[in-house]
Structure 1
Amino acid sequence: MSAPPLCIYHSNCADGFTAAWAVWKRFPDAEFVPGIYGQEPPDTAGRRVILVDFSYPEPVLRRMAERAKSLLVLDHHKTAAEALAWMPRAVTHFDRPLDPWTYHITEDAYLLENQGHPACAAWFDMEKSGARLAWEFFHPGTPVPHLVRHVEDRDLWRFALTGTREIQAVIFSYAYDFAAWDILATACAWPESLQEMISQGAAIERKHRKDVAELLQVTRRTMVIAGQEVPVANLPYTMASDAAGLMAEEAPFAACYYDKPGARVFSLRSRSDGGADVSAVAKLYGGGGHRNAAGFQAAPGWEGDDA
């Protein structure tokens, strides 16, 4: 009997976990491992490996592919584009007519049409979130859930859907648990419960914004990152996007960081209108991400380039 699929997803990220949830809905017996930039991947020998909303540098991916039974990468982060360029494009239901009654994903290499070794493929699209990529790949012909749509709306920082900020506040109030995500998906699917989520989230979001503003007043300082003196604050990752976004309004980019055993973790943010490309900044330190939102890990106590 073959081992269950190994799914590596973006750690501490609603989009990453929602992508993992989409995989879980297709492969409930899969093993799920959070992926962290700068850390080595788990052993992939003989495994069917799925990476969602996350990738590794090209040399690491090549090693993984050589050992794995198959390797599939679904990602949308700008820094992954170059690392994935060598991989064949994954075949999806967008590439051919789909009969939802007969379509299935094969055990070996997920219908990779280059049946050589390494059996690997990638689907990369910066216009979609990791959660949407995972849902559309593993649930062809099934409408994208409203939960996934709202997670994407926030992850891509569009806020085009009504109530996304409030709904995301409710989502962040739950532990990363697949059963909880089932409940959230059901709540998002019905107008009455969706409106209730928006009402609940309004109070949570108001408190969150108040906390971010007050904490920035006492934690904000500067640090030299990638040769630039930029505002930084020591805040938990749950506040990083909003706090760094506020600070970046007056700088090329800004950073929030928190400490964990063995590392100091940085989240970078920049303005969409003229801010720095923080994916390039993060890449300098072994991290990755998007043009306006990225991250990396540094040594414990790292205080910037001048320290």
Structure 2
Amino acid sequence: MIRLFEKRETFHQPTKDIVVLYHADCTDGFSAAWAAWKKFEDNADYIGINPGTQPLEGLKDKEIYMVDLVYQPQYIDGLIKENKKFVAIDHHFSNKDTFKLIPSDSLFDLNHSGAVLAWKYFHPEIKIPRFLEHVEDMDLWKFDLPKTKEIISYLDMVDLSFDEWSRVSEGVENESKFNEYITIGSLILNYQDKLIERIISNHAELVNFLGHEVYAVNSPVFNSQIANVLCEKLDRPLGIVWTAERDGTIHVSLRSIKNAGTDVSELAKKFKGGGGHKSSAGFSLPPGSKLPWTHVANGK
């Protein structure tokens, strides 16, 4: 059966005293929410939201934890005043200045992923799970740990639920299960590579984006992987992957070569609610918007 997923903020308003808001459609964001769930379990609401959106209705007299993202600066003061507690846990470069407005018990660190920071915050006396170290290794695009790509590929095929995240976390600590995940993940990776090659070959378009001649691809999947191929293997300052939701909202992902390419967070901030890291950023455009680039004649 095909399951149609709606954005959580369109139908889920907070009803419990504790509210955990996490970066939606993001492995690191959901893993950060899982870290919070390991502390609060069913005593909190867990709601995925997109960066750059307005605060949800019903955020009043709550204990709020934002993990792997934070609302825009103009909303922070009101959220602090109208709620019992407001904590933000994040690592995105573009949100650095926002944390100057947030109470000191929040946590911001460019050197860790949202998931690892959330674990450090909610479980300061407990060792960081090996599973989350792989999530961080992927999210920061380091790949310093062996078999991170295989583990994350395996994770991509499991249901998005805290129980499943717990199962995978426990399995990663067991060498037999770990090797099983690697075997499955390796098969998935090989298939993904073939799909990515086909997507780029058939859909990459040379465009002019804010003065940069780069490749853009329309794809709802593999945005990081595709965008990195567009800039690294095709020798461009950055790569663009975009997709449109059913309501017409356009999401744009930008990637550049780490420590060598264009600062895409600065480009993303030119659009309302946009931001991210120097080599990984994004923004969204409302329904009816035109794509913010032009086709380059004679480009593929």
- For the criterion TM > 0.5, the same-fold answer is yes
2:215 matched to which residue of 1? 231
Partner of 1:97: none
Work out the CA distance in 2 between the residues paired with 1:304 and 1:87.
Answer: 33
Does the 8 Å contact 1:232/1:255 carry over to 2?
yes
| Residues 1:281 and 2:267 are matched in the alignment | yes
Q: Distance in 2 between matches of 1:232 and 1:216?
A: 9
| More displaced 10-residue stretch of structure 1: 223-232 or 184-193 | 223-232
Whether the 8 Å CA contact 1:247–1:254 is kept in 2: the answer is yes
Comparing 186-195 and 296-305, the one that deviates more: 296-305
Match for 2:279: what amino acid? N
Q: What does the per-residue CA deviation read over 1:58-99, in whole Å, with 9 as the maximum and x for residues that have no partner?
A: 112222222221100000000110111222322xxxxxxxxx
> What residue in structure 2 maps to residue 118 of structure 1?
none
TM-score (norm 2): 0.88
Are positions 1:37 and 2:51 aligned together? yes
Deviations 1:28-61 (Å, cap 9, x if unpaired)? 1211111202321213110100000011221122
Q: Does 2:258 align with 1:258?
A: no
Secondary structure, counterpart of 1:65 in structure 2: helix
Q: Which residue of 1 aligns with 2:223?
A: 240
In 1, distance between residues paired with 2:209 and 2:23?
A: 24
1:22–1:125 CA distance, 2 compared to 1 (3 A): same
Cα distance, 1:306 vs. partner?
5.2
Runs of 4+ in structure 1 off by over 6 angstroms are none
Alignment of 1:149 onto 2:133: yes
2: CA distance between counterparts of 1:134 and 1:209? 31
8 Å CA contact 1:52–1:73 kept in 2: the answer is yes
Q: Secondary structure at the match of 1:285?
A: coil
Residue from 71, 88, 95 that aligns with 1:56: 71
Query: TM-score scaled to structure 1, two decimals?
Result: 0.86
In the alignment, the residues of structure 2 paired with residue 67 and residue 32 of structure 1 have an alpha-carbon distance, to the nearest angstrom, of 19
> Quick check: 1:132–1:144 contact (8 Å CA) kept in 2?
yes
Matched, 1:13 2:26: yes
Across the aligned residues of Structure 1 and Structure 2, the Cα RMSD in angstroms comes to: 1.5
1:76 aligns with 2:60: no
Unaligned runs of 5+ in 2: 1-14, 296-300
State the Cα distance separating 1:141 from its structure 2 match.
0.9
8 Å CA contact 2:21, 2:67 repeated in 1: yes
Seen in structure 2, the aligned counterparts of structure 1 residues 282 and 219 have a Cα distance that, compared at 3 Å, is: same
| Separation (CA, whole Å) in 1 of partners of 2:209 and 2:60 | 37
AA partner of residue 277 (structure 2): H
Q: Is the 8 A contact 1:223 1:304 kept in 2?
A: no
Amino-acid identity (%):
30
Tell me the distance in 2 between the aligned counterparts of 1:229 and 1:223: 6
CA contact (8 A) 2:264 2:280 kept: yes
How far, CA to CA, are the matches of 1:184 and 1:302 in structure 2?
Answer: 41
Aligned to 1:112: none
Aligned pair count reads 274
**Inter-partner Cα distance in structure 2 for 1:159 and 1:303:** 32
CA distance in structure 1 between the partners assigned to 2:79 and 2:101 by the alignment? 14
Is the contact between residue 223 and residue 303 of structure 1 (CA under 8 Å) also seen in structure 2?
A: no
Secondary structure (helix, strand or coil) at the match of 1:84 reads helix
For residue 9 of structure 2, what is the aligned residue in structure 1? none
Residue pair 2:88, 2:102 contacting (<8 A) in 1 also: no
